[in-house]
Amino acid sequence: MKRVVIEGSQWGDEGKGKITDYFSQKAKIVVRFQGGNNAGHTIVFNGQKYALRLIPSGIFHKGTTCVMASGMVINPEAFLEEVEVLKSAGFDTSKLMVSDRASVLFDYHRTLDGANERALDKGKIGTTGRGIGPCYTDKSARIGLRMGDLVNKTTLEKRLKNAVEFKNRELKSFGLEELNFKEVFKKYSALGEKMKPYVTDTATFLQKEVKKGTKILFEGAQGAMLCLTYGTYPYVTCSSPMANSIPLSCGIPCSSIDYVLGIAKAYTTRVGEGPFPTELFGDFADELRERGHEYGTVTKRPRRIGWLDTCVLRHAGAISGISGWAVTLLDVLTGVDEIKVCDKYVYEGKDVYTIPATLEEYEAYEPHYITLKGWKEDISKAKTFEDLPKNAQKYLKTIEKLTGIPIALFSVGPDRKQTVVLTDPFAD
Ligand code: IMP
């Protein structure tokens, strides 16, 4: 396999960072294809913890090229800060490429993200507040700026003037202070200068590498249920974390994808508002949250906790064509007496196996569970499937059976070494 995708299969925070880091050792190029600094990957190695929001995890491997593709929204200030942190920790950032077609996320996008949320009041989405939605909105409204515009003073001046006019009307409607074009231009033309060494035509670069048969890892952010089209709309992000969006976001042919690794946490979490049929409340949910350190990497918000929902996994699997699962945080379930798995929903007395289009309907779905016996043995040192207690093996087998997709690997702790690979997606 040459081109492998890491896709979150739930509502994000499935532990993609660790799995991406693991496989980026095998790839020559690691690509992020959507989202912005709403994502937060935590990677642990050599006892050190690193948090990345924008830059692909491949940056930790010497010689790996990291690409931030056209489908991303990039806050240049946040990007340059991340570069500085990595540089001062001794990592090489010279092989970092930013697409000239990626969208520029401005300060005013963050301001408007906050204003939109306040205006929605009780109906708020619970965004990360990083300006992601307003930036993608501008892209669709054709008043956004691309990285290629940012690094060219003449285009920047022209396009920014237009954008600021539009944004001032919007800010005014919220009763917020209007932007001073000269100030905004000054700040962003300076940032554009600093971005110059990184900005390039990544689509043409990737097309050539695909043709050559280079091993490429595509690193998804967020999760399938936060997809703008197939997620729990409107409680979603404004891009598609699904593998389907990669060809377009990267400018490569549809046939480029060889293997989609679906990352599924052994239970479910979600941050922000929106439906969550298998959600748990009370002491047990609190206990799992503490054990799994389930607090947002970006916003530090406590994550909502629930049982594993295989309807969600089948939904992601069917749309993205998931080839195998990476089950993460299996160790967090150690010591739980009885583990529940949602195999279907019940709606108006009927069994339902799929995710509906409307929120109102989804909110009325009742989860149906099968109950499995838990395990008490420490699994954190497991090196093979057979090292797992029988009940943990049964849990993984149940996921395979209910989704019809094999387990490719599972993870039993935060360290790189605590990963048991059954099928290597990059193997020939
Ligand atoms: P936005 O992406 O900041 O617009 O937020 C939209 C929704 O996606 C909110 O519910 C966020 O909590 C959620 N979200 C965005 N990024 C992540 C992530 O990396 N992990 C989990 N949830 C996320």
**Distance of alpha carbon 135 from alpha carbon 325, whole angstroms:** 32
60 and 175 within one domain: no
Instruction: Identify the CA nearest to 264 among candidates 92, 19, 4.
Output: 19
For 332, other C-beta atoms within 10 Å of its C-beta total 21
Q: Are residues 123 and 164 in the same domain?
A: yes
CA dist 289 and 302 (Å) reads 8
Active-site entry in 21, 41, 100, 113: 41
Same domain? For 187 and 78 the reply is: no
Is 368 marked active-site?
no
CB-CB neighbours of 218 under 10 Å = 31
Q: How many CB atoms lie within 10 A of CB 204?
A: 11
Which of 155, 172, 195 is the last residue before a domain boundary? 195
- For the chain, what is the radius of gyration of the CA atoms? 22
Q: Please check whether residue 110 lies inside any domain of the structure.
A: yes
Residues 399 and 308 in one domain: yes
- Which one of 13, 138, 331, 343 is the catalytic residue? 13
214 and 363 inside one domain: yes
**CB neighbourhood size of 185 (10 A):** 18
Q: Which two tokens stand for residue 83?
A: 């570069």
Residue 208, domain CATH: 3.90.170.10
| Region for residue 24 given its phi and psi (left: phi exceeds 0; alpha: psi -120 to 50; beta: otherwise) | alpha
Task: State residue 197's pLDDT score.
Answer: 97
Residue 349 lies in a domain: yes
Which of the listed residues 195, 222, 238 is the one where a domain comes to its end? 195
Kindly report the CA angle at 274 between 273 and 279, in degrees rounded to 5? 95
Distance of alpha carbon 304 from alpha carbon 294, whole angstroms: 8
* 226 ligand 1 Cβ < 6 A: yes
Q: Are residues 224 and 188 in contact, defined by beta-carbon separation less than 8 angstroms?
A: no
Whether 98 is in a domain gets the answer: no
Give the domain extent around 133: 103-195
What local confidence, expressed as pLDDT, does residue 42 receive? 73
Burial of 226-261, coded b for 16+ CB within 10 Å and e otherwise, reads: bbbebbbeebbbbbbbbbbbbbebbbbeeebbebbb
| Residue 126 amino acid letter | G
- For residue 95, tell me if it sits in a domain: no
The pLDDT tens digits of the residues spanning 315-357 come to: 999 999 999 999 999 999 999 999 999 999 999 999 999 999 9
By most ligand atoms within 8 Å of CB, the mutation choice from 225, 232, 236, 237 for ligand 1 is 237
- Ligand 1 pocket member 103 (CB < 6 A): no
**Considering its fold, how many domains does the chain have in total?**
2
Residue 335 forms part of a structural domain: yes
Classify residue 272: in a domain, yes or no.
yes
* CA dihedral sign of residues 83, 86, 88, 92: negative
> What's the token pair of residue 282?
């009370």
**Is the C-beta atom of 127 inside 6 A of ligand 1?**
yes
57 located within any domain: yes
3-state secondary structure 170-223: HHHHCCCCCCCHHHHHHHHHHHHHHHCCCEECHHHHHHHHHHHCCCEEEECCCC
DSSP-derived 3-state class of residue 19? helix
208 and 309: one domain? yes
Q: Is 202 in the pocket of ligand 1 (CB under 6 A)?
A: no
Write out the DSSP string of 93-136: -TTEEEETTSEEPPHHHHHHHHHHHHHHGGG-----SSSHHHHH
Low-confidence ranges of the chain (pLDDT < 70): 44-46
- Catalytic residue status for 315: no
* E strand or H helix that includes residue 155: helix 153-173
- Contact at 8 Å (CB) between 101 and 147? yes
Nearest to 396 by CA among 312, 317, 308: 308
Structure tokens at 236: 């979603």
pTM for the structure as a whole = 0.96
Measured in angstroms, how far is the CA atom of residue 390 from the centroid of ligand 1? Answer: 36
Distance of alpha carbon 206 from alpha carbon 218, whole angstroms: 11
Rounded to a whole number, what is the largest CA-CA distance in the chain? 66
